[in-house]
Amino acid sequence: MKDAIPASYIFSYWIFLWAVAYILVIWFVRDPPKWVQWFNPTFVLLIAFIWTTESLMRLYFIGVSWSVILKYTATILSIKFVPLYLIYRWGIPFGWNIHTFRDLGVLVGIFAVYMVYLRVNGTDYETVYADLTDSIEHDENRTPLESALNRVFGI
């Protein structure tokens, strides 16, 4: 059996944590400072949602099992769609306040930190995502969320 893929190696989980932190600040701070809107993850979540939905369609067309498609759909919904929905519902005063260049700048900064993190841990983006793709296509349950779905629901 191959080793599990650490959550910290998967950029989608970084985006999810970013969204959770943003939602918690919006939820618990009555009047958040204006600079909080600079860290609004809505645009990045939309890009990630579209990207992974395309990956889901690719999995369907290459003929993976329905359990893989179901598990991958649950992953997409839980770490991308649910945060998008919560930001939409609770994101006031900033909500879906998308500023393309600003948001891309913040994304590039976070992605640079992610790349340095991978390098410090002796791996790189291509290796991680080749391993991730292989794990998903062969239903190996080596990511934290897929492993949890397999243990809880047996899929």
Give the list of residues 6+ apart from residue 154 with CB closer than 8 angstroms, or none: none
pLDDT (tens digit, 0 to 9) for every residue of the chain, 155 residues total?
A: 578 999 999 999 999 999 999 888 888 887 778 788 788 899 999 999 999 999 999 999 999 999 899 999 999 999 999 999 988 887 665 566 777 888 899 999 999 999 999 999 999 999 999 999 999 999 898 988 888 887 887 77
- The domain spans of the chain are 7-153
Q: Can you tell me whether residue 140 is helix, strand or coil?
A: coil
141 Rama sector, left if φ>0, alpha if ψ -120 to 50, beta otherwise: left
Q: Which two tokens stand for residue 24?
A: 């918690």
CA distance 83 to 42: 9
Measured from the Cβ of residue 143, the count of other Cβ atoms closer than 10 Å reads 23
CA separation, residue 155 to residues 18, 41, 43, 71, 139 (Å): 28, 30, 31, 7, 9
Q: Which two tokens stand for residue 150?
A: 């397999």
CA 60, chain centre distance (Å): 20
CA distance 145 to 86: 20
| Identity of the amino acid at 52 | T
